[in-house]
Each structure stands twice: as structure tokens, then as C-alpha cells.
A and B are shown apart, each in its own frame.
Chain A
């Protein structure tokens, strides 16, 4: 059994991670920390975990790291790096924050803040198995990708050879769980539900990951909050001359994803559900991708959908854990989502 500790287990990502870990056949959750809820039962904060995670939240203590094989960090951006600095080399780490996703300290500083251990950035592997599987297996520090970044990168990855002279414009629609469990005015149900709100017209932090991982620069992104709890839907427009035919695009997607368990090409000719849909992926570790070629407008449109808390966070972290420990990659993750 893999013994794991979870630092920062009271948020939505931590809760989803604990839910998935609790049913994983090769994992024992040894401790879960929360500064805010120390001493409380984990199931008092995550009631869905009653009878599955019967331990209390503790304070984070460095010496507790000795009791586990793997530490998950489910902390806000800029908090994780303090702990990684402290424990790197002593235990395997999967960091679900953005602190180790970018290779360049100056890019990190531009989008977040000054990095406290930039010398460790080169050891972190960007935890997107569909791209970095072999490096993940050998790594002891995984930077788990962002939810939007995962949707975008998986949507564009088969096309990277085409993108150099193209303009890429991304439209993101995201559910409320992506903004975390801390209350704010914009997250009150009355104000968040039944609306579409542009929350980041430009300079979204996840764009830095997209640019770095795909090696592209002509890319922009606008992100909208929509009235659903879970899910990320990316509509990606690629403009330029010489857009290939749909059959050629099929070939590119097949070359990358035919063997991938968690990426499904959803590109059927007729509706309904002929293209990715949030309904097809929520509560699962799948990312569905599809596309259309709009020849009249020199435009390729890519659609990518995933559950922000699973393939966009906790599920992907477990996929990474499985790889790091030599387990079947889909262990504990092989189930469909919920349609309704």
C-alpha cells in the first residue's frame, strides 16, 4: 500500500482528492492537514467521506512526512513552494498548485510572485501524462497542471506542428467549484447562478502554462464563469491560411490519442452529443476533444471538455501517482461520469 499525506485537505480539490484516494485499492491516507479545521473530523467538512475517511484534520508538521511515501499539496498558489522547499528529496510530492508548473522563475514572478526556491523548478515535471508520461514515472516532484490548461493543451497538443504561423484564441467556460471554497461576493449562489460572467478577459495565469508546454506564443484567452458547479469547456479558434481538411485533423488526433485511456475523440457527424459536452465528462477523469474545420473563414475550431476537479486536478494527480509508483495508470479512476 502507498501511504499518503494530504496537506490542505479542506478545499474542493482536497476533498475530491480524498474521495478518490479513499476508493483507490493501493492507497492508505495516513494524515490530512488543515490549519482552519485542525481537530475536526475530515467528514465534518466533507460529509460525502463518512465511513471512507475516518480521521481528523491535523496541523502540518515536517516530521510527519517520514510516515508517508507521497505528499499531495492542495494549497493555494505561492503556499506550496514553502513546503516543497522544506521537504524536497525526502518524499515524493505531487503539488496541485501552480508553484512548479512553470520552468522560468521570471514567468512565475510575472503571473504569481517571486519564487522562494527557483533552483527546484528544473526538477519538477509537468504532470500531464499524455505528454510527459515517462518523465512522470521517474520524477519525485510533480507539478499537477491547471484545469483550464489541461483542457486547452489536450485540445491543441495534436496540432502543435500547425500552430507556428496561426493565431489561437481560446474561450473558456468554467464552473463555480474552480474558484475554490472560500466565499466571496461573486460566488454567492444568487449572484453566481443563472449567469455568464467574464471573469478574466485576458492575462489568465493558465495561459503561461499553455504557452510554455506547447511552445506557442500567438495565443490569447478569455475566461467566463458560468452557472454550473463543475466543468471546463474550452472553445479554441485557430485562424490562419492552410487549415488542413477535417480528415487530416482526424489523422493528427488519432496519432496522439488512439492509445490514451482518458482522452476521447468526440467528433461525430450528427447531434446530439456529436462534440464534447460537459455532460459527458463531469465526475470522471476523461477529457473529450473534438473539432470542426470552417473553411469559409480559414478557421479550425477545437472543443475540449473536462471535470475541473478530476481531470483538471485530483484525478490527474492520482493518474500521476499511479505512474510514479508503477501502478496501472487508470487504477481507481476507471469509471464513467454522471449524465444527470
Chain B
């Protein structure tokens, strides 16, 4: 299954159809993407960025 990364536009290939709230990663830009919806179409959203303090 091919999806498009909403962050960088790269192709993301998944073996199976994802489930809602599943997290997938774009191999090109590394963005963590959450599956917001699976029907009627799959919608991916970028998870919130990590701050400058790298979460510390």
C-alpha cells in the first residue's frame, strides 16, 4: 500500500492497511505520522514536533 508523506511528499509503502491511530514513519524525512482516518480514505497527520530542548 502506497501513501504520501504529508510532510515531505515522499512515498510511504506499508505492507498492510494501517489501523486508526497507528503511527507510521516516513523513511525519507523521518516524520512520525499518525493515521487519523482509514475510511473512506487514509489520512495521515504529522505528530507534533519535538521542541528545541529535545524534550528535556
Q: Which residues of A contact B (CB under 8 A)?
A: 246-247, 250-251, 265, 267-272, 274
Contact = CB atoms under 8 A, between A and B. Distances in A.
A269 B46 contact: yes
Given A246-B8, A247-B7, A250-B9, A271 B29 contact: no
Contacts of A251: 9
B30 A247 contact: no
Nearest to A248: B9
A246 B30 CA distance: 14
B38 interface: no
Contacts of B10: 250
A270 B49 contact: yes
Contact of A268 (B9, B29, B54): B29
A268 B49 CA distance: 11
Nearest to A269: B31
A31 to B, nearest CB: 47
Contacts of A270: 30-32, 49-50
Contact of B54 (A246, A250, A271): A271
Contacts of A274: 30
A247 B8 contact: yes
Contacts of B9: 247, 250-251
Nearest to B6: A247
Contacts of A265: 28
Interface in B1-42: 7-10, 26, 28-32
B53 to A, nearest CB: 10
Given A269-B46, A270-B30, 11 more contacts: A250-B29, A251-B9, A265-B28, A268-B29, A268-B30, A269-B26, A269-B31, A269-B49, A270-B32, A270-B50, A271-B54
Nearest to A265: B28
Nearest to B10: A250
Nearest to B47: A269
Nearest to B52: A271
A242 to B, nearest CB: 19
A253 to B, nearest CB: 10
Contacts of B8: 246-247, 250, 267
A268 B50 CA distance: 12
The 10 closest A-B pairs by CB, nearest first: A268-B30, A269-B31, A250-B8, A247-B9, A269-B30, A270-B50, A250-B9, A269-B29, A268-B29, A271-B54
A267 B50 contact: no
A269 B51 CA distance: 11
Residue among A246, A250, A265, A274 with max Cβ neighbours from chain B (10 Å):
A250
